[in-house]
Amino acid sequence: MLPNQRREKIFELIKEDGHAKVTQLSRIFRVTEVTIRQDLEKLEKEGLIMREHGGAHLINVESNVKNITLRNQENLAEKASIARRAVELINDGDTIILDSGSTTTEIAKLINGFRNLTVITNALNIALILGGDPGINLVVTGGEFKAPTLSLTGQKAADFFNNLHVDKLFLATAGITLKAGLTYPSISDIVVKRAMIESADVVYLVADSAKIGRNAFASLGTL
């Protein structure tokens, strides 16, 4: 991997998780900690991150959390169009999973008027959107909080889905390619998404066309 490609992947990871440690990045990219520090220094000079002792964190992430806003606001018109189609696939009495993400958030905004609908999500912003609807039985997973995506992730979030059965999963992705399949910037999300898939009868991938041809760091598997 060329240095500029590595820095791009490092920024994708930090943008997804909110922060990263030098030791962690050194293991992931199989380069020395000195090299990672140089990468972080360059990313900081570009105004993308801020270095801290032993690592770096994303700029302005605290403001996003306090305002409960997602950082990714690209292609919202397209995502809203996908959401309108997705809501047509939901029926009264369903048990569904809404994965975290900007497209699934658009779906949540359109879910209303259902009876006896159970929604399971690892996204705190989605929980706040749906929490006041009397027709929805809302369930939120546990897990480690990721500030940029307002989501819960990691093994604890994945374990929540053990022995769970749901009708439909609306799954988000960062990238789609024929070779790598579905990819994500964060390794911690992979175990959660696999657990979601295992528990669902039907999986709907909700992704706008900008994701096609993109290849993020961690792979979930082939389509």
Shared domain for 205 and 174, answered yes or no, is yes
Number of structural domains, the chain? 2
Domain assignment of residue 147, yes or no: yes
Shared domain for 139 and 196, answered yes or no, is yes
Shared domain for 54 and 81, answered yes or no, is no
Domain assignment of residue 67, yes or no: no
Domain assignment of residue 194, yes or no: yes
Closest CA to 43 of 54, 57, 53, 32: 57
In what helix (H) or strand (E) does residue 15 lie, and over which residues does it extend? helix 3-17
* Confidence (pTM): 0.83
Domain assignment of residue 84, yes or no: yes
Cα dist from 80 to 49, 109, 168, 175, 202, whole Å = 30, 9, 19, 19, 21
Q: Exposed (0-12), middle (13-18) or buried (19+): which is 165, by Cβ within 10 Å?
A: exposed
Shared domain for 55 and 88, answered yes or no, is no
Q: What is the CATH number of the domain that holds 23?
A: 1.10.10.10
Tens digit of each residue's pLDDT (9 = 90 or more) over 159-216: 999 999 999 999 999 899 988 899 988 888 999 999 999 999 999 999 999 999 988 8
In this predicted structure, what is the pLDDT of residue 100? 95
Tens digit of each residue's pLDDT (9 = 90 or more) over 51-102: 988 988 888 777 667 766 776 678 889 999 999 999 999 999 999 999 999 9
Shared domain for 92 and 146, answered yes or no, is yes
Shared domain for 86 and 195, answered yes or no, is yes
Domain assignment of residue 52, yes or no: yes
Tens digit of each residue's pLDDT (9 = 90 or more) over 99-109: 999 999 999 99
Is-contact 207 172, C-beta < 8 A?
yes
CA 91 to the chain's CA centroid: 25
Phi and psi of 177, rounded to 5°?
-135, 155
Shared domain for 44 and 104, answered yes or no, is no
Domain assignment of residue 103, yes or no: yes
Shared domain for 136 and 205, answered yes or no, is yes
| 15 CB-side CA count, 13 A | 18
Domain assignment of residue 71, yes or no: no
Domain assignment of residue 70, yes or no: no
Shared domain for 107 and 32, answered yes or no, is no
Q: Which domain holds residue 41?
A: 3-59
Shared domain for 36 and 101, answered yes or no, is no
pLDDT (average), residues 97-126: 96
Shared domain for 131 and 172, answered yes or no, is yes
Tens digit of each residue's pLDDT (9 = 90 or more) over 129-150: 999 999 999 999 999 998 888 9
Cα dist from 109 to 34, 130, 193, 209, whole Å = 45, 8, 22, 21
In this predicted structure, what is the pLDDT of residue 49? 83
Cα dist from 15 to 104, 118, 149, 209, whole Å = 19, 31, 9, 21
Shared domain for 24 and 97, answered yes or no, is no
CA 111 to the chain's CA centroid: 20
In this predicted structure, what is the pLDDT of residue 71? 66
Q: What is the CATH number of the domain that holds 163?
A: 3.40.50.10470
Confidence of residue 221 (pLDDT cuts 50, 70, 90): confident
